[in-house]
């Protein structure tokens, strides 16, 4: 896990050293262990390193003949790539094989990579810069047209900090953010900054994009014919291979353990593969009436022989650190799970851990969300499309209706419904296209990189996807329970977690916290420039006073997030202090 940035300009243009330095400084938190750069003609690459594999010779940029590369993430099958292709690598870095594969295969070089990665390479002989991102979009990469060519970086805030793009908000993306807590598609919330899409390889020549390729995350086709026992055996093999690959590291690693099935499956496999006890971290909230995952996680850890660390998150901690947490979400996702994730990342680093595995992706790959079961039913039996309603529907808080906020989701729905896929598969594919990379994985990336910790997701792996996505619907959803096959696997290998108990949705008590200070917090949020532009001040204040109600609390949280985010990333304010001090600053 690192940071990368660069400039790919037209022939005759000279990259600015000051701009390159500004990009690197803005990404320093992603790579506290070192940095490097490559400048050749009209192209410049910058890298900040978090050293995980090949601590001695793995500094970047990496070079092979006329090609140079910088990368963020891990290529888990680097050993197999070196051996199978007889690559003459000069280092032990997992990121060197892509360089040699590029020289042999051209733009198809990424097809055999198994991992989480965003990378940029410059081939002087081919006069090309190539950007590539892993199929699930685990690692971020952004680009922007700038005077003279194209700039790119691991985070949008680096492009803003370097003065390459002005921080102007796209109203369409703002509407998405407020209604569904994340944004969709290639365009970000910032005018002029786009995502390199998950699985995309982009070729740039003479300062312009000349070719794009896309590698899918999920296998094509409809459900396959397979029985439960055969499916369980195949899943076991896929999980073992994936977790083994995801544990490749030259530094200590651990696990984020919730009270659910996904991380329990990863824990069970890690316990099988490791001689030493797994170090597991769980967050919980000390507030009455809120489901606490720590007891269930503790039971799972005990059964697996893991060493268990719990992190108690209370209201005072949240108000003190929330401005800092939101500041990390430059590509915004108003997911309240950023709060425990940030504190878990801090705890992991305090315990000397630089790599953590997690269960992200389990719901999407195995069919776990309740909205999937609704999507499976026809409309006359109560079925409905995912995210058919937004957080601000019928609340009368905003100055004008949020028009066209669902257009991006509708476009993704059409793309997900490929021939042969069931309603369930299409709903899963929809989430994999946008919700997963632009919310869950963005949250994991930013909140962990804030502490110099790398997050790994073994359930988001080509082998696991091949074993699970095309399962018959009945092996994913049975009755009122999702993730049937994964639950069956966990029942055999870690039964102490009681995998067939009803799914307990993960919640963060933001509504209760906001309600307790709503009379004070509401007017502060209403007065923020970003909020005042779109919302009625008196209705905002009323919303915060009623935040104990579920819908009001959720909408209030979105406005609080947006107020803090707008101050930092649009207004450019970098105040220190708790939520109240920051919002009161003039």
Alpha helix ranges (H) inside 368-517? 370-376, 407-416, 423-430, 441-449, 462-468, 484-493, 510-516
Query: Hey, is 574 helix, strand or coil?
Result: coil
Cross-strand pairs, 145? 150
Strands in 442-562 per DSSP E: 454-456
Cross-strand pairs, 213? 201
Task: Count Cβ atoms below 10 Å from residue 383 Cβ, excluding itself.
Answer: 13
Query: Hey, is 197 helix, strand or coil?
Result: coil
Q: Which residue, 30, 349, 60, 16, is CA-closest to 151?
A: 16
d(CA 492, CA 524): 52
The answer to whether the beta carbons of residues 328 and 447 sit under 8 Å apart is yes
- 258: phi then psi, degrees, rounded to nearest 5: -95, -170
Token output for 566: 């707008």
Token output for 73: 């993430």
Token output for 578: 């708790």
Q: Which residues of 445-463 are buried (b: 16+ CB within 10 A; e: fewer)?
A: bbbbbbbbbbbbbbbbbbb
Residues in the chain: 586
The answer to whether the beta carbons of residues 314 and 285 sit under 8 Å apart is yes
Query: Hey, is 393 helix, strand or coil?
Result: coil
Task: Name the catalytic one among 2, 89, 95, 447.
Answer: 2
Token output for 179: 């209604």
d(CA 130, CA 103): 12
Cα angle for residues 383, 384, 385 (degrees, 5° grid): 140
- The residues, any chain, with a CB within 8 Å of residue 190's CB and separated by 6 or more, are 156, 160, 165, 167, 168, 169, 170
d(CA 235, CA 115): 19
d(CA 410, CA 417): 11
Query: Hey, is 311 helix, strand or coil?
Result: strand
Cross-strand pairs, 212? 202
User: Is 95 tagged catalytic?
Assistant: no
Cross-strand pairs, 44? 7, 39
d(CA 143, CA 200): 12
Catalytic residues: 2
């Amino acid at each position: 896990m690192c940071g990368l940035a660069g400039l790919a300009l037209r022939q005759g243009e000279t990259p600015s050293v000051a701009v390159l330095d500004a990009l690197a400084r803005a990404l320093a938190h992603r790579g506290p262990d070192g940095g490097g750069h490559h400048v050749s003609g009209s192209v410049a690459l910058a890298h900040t390193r978090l050293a995980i594999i090949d601590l001695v010779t793995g500094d970047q940029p990496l070079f092979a003949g006329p090609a140079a590369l910088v990368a963020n993430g891990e290529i888990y099958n680097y050993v197999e790539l070196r051996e199978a292709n007889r690559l003459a690598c000069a280092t032990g870095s997992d990121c060197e094989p892509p360089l040699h594969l590029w020289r042999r295969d051209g733009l198809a070089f990424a097809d055999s990579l198994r991992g989480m990665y965003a990378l940029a390479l410059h081939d002087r002989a081919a006069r090309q810069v190539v950007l590539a991102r892993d199929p699930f979009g685990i690692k971020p990469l952004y680009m922007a047209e700038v005077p003279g060519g194209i700039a790119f970086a691991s985070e949008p805030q680096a492009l803003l900090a370097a003065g390459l793009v002005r921080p102007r908000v796209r109203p369409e993306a703002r509407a998405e953010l407020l209604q569904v807590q994340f944004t969709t598609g290639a365009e970000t919330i910032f005018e002029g900054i786009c995502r390199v899409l998950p699985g995309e390889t982009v070729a740039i020549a003479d300062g312009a994009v000349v070719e794009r390729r896309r590698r899918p995350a999920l296998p094509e086709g409809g459900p396959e014919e397979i029985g439960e026992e055969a499916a369980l055996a195949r899943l076991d093999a896929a999980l073992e291979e994936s977790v083994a690959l995801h544990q490749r590291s030259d530094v200590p690693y651990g696990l984020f353990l919730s009270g659910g099935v996904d991380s329990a499956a990863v824990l069970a496999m890690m316990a099988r593969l490791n001689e030493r006890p797994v170090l597991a971290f769980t967050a919980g909230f000390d507030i009455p009436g809120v489901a606490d995952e720590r007891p269930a996680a503790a039971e799972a850890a005990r059964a697996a022989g893991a060493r268990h660390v719990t992190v108690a998150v209370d209201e005072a901690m949240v108000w003190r650190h929330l401005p800092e947490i939101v500041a990390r979400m430059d590509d915004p996702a108003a997911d309240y799970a950023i709060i425990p994730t940030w504190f878990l990342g801090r705890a992991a680093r305090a315990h000397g851990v630089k790599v953590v595995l997690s269960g992200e992706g389990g719901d999407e790959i195995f069919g776990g969300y309740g909205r999937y079961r609704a999507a499976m039913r026809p409309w006359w039996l109560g079925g409905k499309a995912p995210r058919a309603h937004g957080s601000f529907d019928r609340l009368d808080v905003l100055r004008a209706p949020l028009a066209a906020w669902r257009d991006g989701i509708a476009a993704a729905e059409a793309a997900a419904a490929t021939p042969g896929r069931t309603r369930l598969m299409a709903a899963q594919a929809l989430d994999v296209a946008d919700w997963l990379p632009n919310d869950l994985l963005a949250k994991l990336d930013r909140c962990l990189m804030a502490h110099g910790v790398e997050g790994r997701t073994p359930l988001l792996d080509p082998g696991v996807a091949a074993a699970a996505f095309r399962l018959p619907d009945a092996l994913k959803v049975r009755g009122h329970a999702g993730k049937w096959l994964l639950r069956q696997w966990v029942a055999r290998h870690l039964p102490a977690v009681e995998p067939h108990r009803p799914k307990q949705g993960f919640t963060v008590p933001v509504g209760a916290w906001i309600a307790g200070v709503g009379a004070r917090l509401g007017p502060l949020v209403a007065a923020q420039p970003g909020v005042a532009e779109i919302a009625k001040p008196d209705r905002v204040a009323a919303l915060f006073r009623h935040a104990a109600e579920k819908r009001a609390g959720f909408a209030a949280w979105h406005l609080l997030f947006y107020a803090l985010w707008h101050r930092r990333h649009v207004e450019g304010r970098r105040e220190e202090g708790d939520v109240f001090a920051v919002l009161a600053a003039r």
